[in-house]
A and B are shown apart, each in its own frame.
Chain A
Amino acid sequence: MAVHGDHGAHAHHPDLQHHFDTLGQQHEAATLGMWLFLITEVMFFGGLFLAYMLYRIWYPRAWSEASLELNVLLGGTNTIVLIGSSLTMALAVRAAQTGLRKQTVVWLLLTMALGLTFLVIKYFEYAEKFEHHHVPGFDFHFPGPDAGPAQIYFSLYFLMTGLHATHMVIGFGLLSVITWMAARGRFSPAWYTPVEMSGLYWHFVDIVWIFLFPLLYLVDRAHHFA
């Protein structure tokens, strides 16, 4: 319901858009909109997860062998980096909510630094794939009888991680704007909606990786090291 939220008293707040009655209504609209957007994102990635599931069931051996070619150390490091960035993002939202301007900026900058670290590590991983001829369509080579399915595996690997990395880049751009706004003191306990919305987006992108990492890097690895 479009009821008056916690911040309803600030009717003349400069960030209240003309078509809303209160900041509370505006905040609720933004929150609902963001969650709906994240649902569309789930469906967007969902198509690729479906393809992944089908081919993994069809080609378990190729999946297991191709997965061993991924660098689990770099992937694992990136997982920790991203989870760390989610923590700093949550702290940034908290700081914005409590009106701590300087802290907000610091936590946001840290989040961006961790996001950049992730992308740099990802770059080295991709470069490695080019060296090893594991990029479909570019002189792809995979020994053994499973070259076809392995190429499908790597196609999905690049599609899924590439789409994820694209979301990271967009998130980085989003956080740059938010950080700039935070530094200029645009947020207050009465209105910090953009920080919270960017946070939701950032956490979502993080969660996608939490699924991608085991699905792509950890296929049957225990079996091979046993």
Chain B
Amino acid sequence: MASTASLAAPTAPLVTYLNHQHGVASWLLTKDHKRIGLMYMVVVTFAFFLGGIFASMIRLELATPAGDLLSADTYNKMFTMHGVAMVFFVLIPAVPAILGNFVLPLMLGAKDVAFPKLNLLSWYIFVIGFLFTVYAMVAGGVDTGWTFYTPYSSRASNANVMMTGIGVFITGFSSILTGLNFMVTIHRMRAPGLTWFRLPLFVWAVYATSLVQILGTPVIAITVLALAIERGLHFGIFDPALGGDPVLFQHMFWFYSHPAVYIMILPPMGAISEVIAAFSRKSVFGYSFVAFSSLAIAIFGFLVWAHHMFVAGISVYSALVFSFLTYAVAIPSAVKVFNWAATMYKGAIWLKAPMIWAICFLGLFLVGGLTGLFTAALGVDVHIHDTYFVVAHFHFIMVGGAIMGYFAGLHYWWPKITGRMYSDIWAKVAAVIVFAGFNLTFGPQFILGYLGMPRRYHVYPEEFQVLNVLSSAGASILGVGYMLVAIYLLASLFKGERVGANPWYATGLEWTTQSPPLPHNFEVQPIVTHEAYEYTRREVTVG
């Protein structure tokens, strides 16, 4: 619905959350969810850059079969630090902590999240955890793989496992508290009339994510704590020399770290629902199916962790059950993809930049999801376990899915966040470059893995070189694409055209307030009288 505000000539609003207070202290002590979201964006972008540098070192090394650029030890540290930076400091906070913080209270018609001080505290906890981790990286790095498997991590490795562990442990509480905050916010802070089934699907996705954060993250916290105590104080917990069980560590680690994949992918899925509806000018097909599929993914997601351990000597019967449940979790994921496609079907598709990013997401997530089924099959998994096939699969989900979805959401809400529009054409060009670069990077890795190239080695036989060179070339294209995004988004802050409240003519309460929003979001308390995504109402009444 196009409000009158969006049709008026856009001018800069007098008072916004950005200009009502000035100075560094007004940011560092803010309790405004919008400012906190932007503060997360700064740290996460830095971490993304850091993780990207580690990734480039990996791809540079793998351009040739010999280990000529990095020693084996340095290479181990590169892929470990790439994983740690990207998983804990980019993928997990990206959409919930940045976009979630910014738009969730706006979508609910609330003045803020339920616990604003706790929200700020979460950011500080995140930064402190990040600083510990960065310190570990600067002071010699860590080489265990981001999975910290025992007993290597607790007894053998002489790298900075302790510092990294402390960093991850601390950061976990940021995630827990953000999830808790959002869940209470969704329960208690909704505007009058905003019933559960009128909520935008992004809110459902964030709710499901919060569930995973609340139930899963404490388990990784205690696991890493136990690991640190085993390493630091020489307590016996997982140590096989004392009769301990290193596989217990894997169980506890993946009990969180598999659901963590859903922390990464569910919120971007929510953003995709918003974008697809807005740019297809249609209500999301099967709203309640999409809403409940988020919850189903969150719940099923807790029951599949041992599929990471099919070759770790677990019982064949439990492997059968975990394999079956892993197939089951594909169902709600597929529901989402089908429903997005059905939403686009016969929609009036408006190919603006966010939609291009969303369509790229659809393609990449589809490949990532389907190749997940290969790895869920017990027999096939024995062949492809710990090969580049798995690397390609999870990068299709995490980069092709989560990061593309983040960018779709970021491009969608950027005018709301900044009050300015970026260059649409450059955004489209960047999306296509990223899409092409991504496929060139990770497509060959499926073949490499199937041919038997294991992950985590810095040398490989010469017959794998062509595919590895293609992959490294793709990575540089990918890097160019991401740099392009950074450039035109930064440029838009200064030169971007000013936009009104609702540049996309989208539904949702966040588009009813000015861009950038007021410090307390709304001039008057919004009252909701209709469902989400009423894009077709007019056509229905006319037709």
The residue of chain B having its C-beta at the shortest distance from the C-beta of A33 within the complex is B184
Pick from A1, A32, A44, A155: contact of B236, CB under 8 Å: A155
The answer, yes or no, to whether A28 is at the interface (CB within 8 Å) is yes
Nearest CB in chain B: distance from A56 CB, A:
12
- Pair A156/B237 contact, Cβ less than 8 Å: yes
Instruction: List, in ascending order, chain B residues with CB within 8 A of A137's CB.
Output: 233-235
- For the complex, count residues of B whose C-beta is within 8 A of A: 43
Q: How many residues of A contact B (CB 8 A)?
A: 37
Hey, which chain A residues are within 8 Å of B190, CB to CB?
Answer: 1-2
Q: List residues of chain B with CB within 8 A of the CB of A32.
A: 183-184, 187-188
Asked if A40 contacts B176 (CB within 8 A), the reply is: yes
How far apart are A101's CB and chain B's nearest CB, in angstroms?
A: 26
Task: Contact check, A159 vs B187: say whether CB atoms are below 8 A apart.
Answer: no
Whether A44 contacts B248 by the Cβ 8 Å rule is no
Query: What's the nearest-Cβ distance from chain B to residue A223, in Å?
Result: 22
Among the listed B187, B219, B243, which residue makes an inter-chain contact with A44, where contact means beta carbons less than 8 Å apart? B219
Q: Is A18 an interface residue (CB 8 A)?
A: yes
The distance in angstroms between the C-alpha atoms of A50 and B216, with both chains bound, is: 14
**B215 adjacent to chain A (CB < 8 Å):** yes
Report yes or no: A151 in contact with B236, Cβ–Cβ below 8 A. yes
| Interface stretch of the complex, out of B110-118, B133-141, B472-480 | B110-118
Report yes or no: B235 in contact with A33, Cβ–Cβ below 8 A.
no
Bound form: Cα–Cα A50–B244 in Å: 13
- A136–B216 alpha-carbon span in the complex (Å): 29
Are A2 and B189 interface neighbours, CB within 8 A?
yes
Q: Let me know if A136 and B236 touch, CB within 8 A.
A: yes
Residues of B near A158 (CB, < 8 A) are: 235
Residues of B within 8 A of A51 (CB): 226, 237, 248, 252
Distance in Å from the Cβ of B270 to the closest Cβ of chain A? 20
- A2–B520 CB distance below 8 A: no
The interface residues of chain A, by DSSP majority, are classed as: helix
Encode contact with A along B210-248: 1 for CB under 8 Å, 0 otherwise.
000011111101110110011001111100011111001
How many angstroms between the C-alpha atoms of A37 and B183 in the bound complex? 11
A148-B242, A152-B243 known; A19-B237 Cβ under 8 A: no
Contact yes or no, B216 A152, CB < 8 A: no
From known contacts A32-B184, A148-B241, A152-B242, infer whether A159 and B236 are also in contact, taking CB-CB under 8 Å.
no
Residues on A with beta carbons closer than 8 Å to the beta carbon of B217: 40
- Cβ–Cβ contact A155 & B237, under 8 A: yes
* A18 CA to B521 CA, complexed, in Å: 12
Docked complex Cα distance between A33 and B225 (Å): 24
Q: Quick one: CB contact mask for B170-190 with A, threshold 8 Å, 1 for yes?
A: 000000100011011001111
A39 within 8 A of B: yes
User: Could you tell me if A50 and B252 are in contact, using CB atoms closer than 8 angstroms?
Assistant: yes
Q: Mark B230-274, 1 if CB is under 8 A from A, else 0.
A: 100111110001111100100110000000000000000000000
Nearest residue, chain A, Cβ from B33: A19
- Give me 21 A-to-B residue pairs in the complex whose CB atoms sit less than 8 angstroms apart, sorted by A's number: A2-B190, A18-B112, A18-B520, A19-B111, A33-B114, A40-B176, A40-B217, A43-B214, A43-B216, A47-B226, A50-B251, A51-B252, A58-B243, A136-B233, A148-B236, A148-B241, A148-B243, A151-B235, A152-B236, A155-B237, A159-B237
Q: Residues on A close to B: CB < 8 A?
A: 1-2, 17-19, 25, 28-29, 32-33, 36-37, 39-41, 43-48, 50-51, 54-55, 58-59, 136-137, 148-149, 151-152, 155-156, 158-159
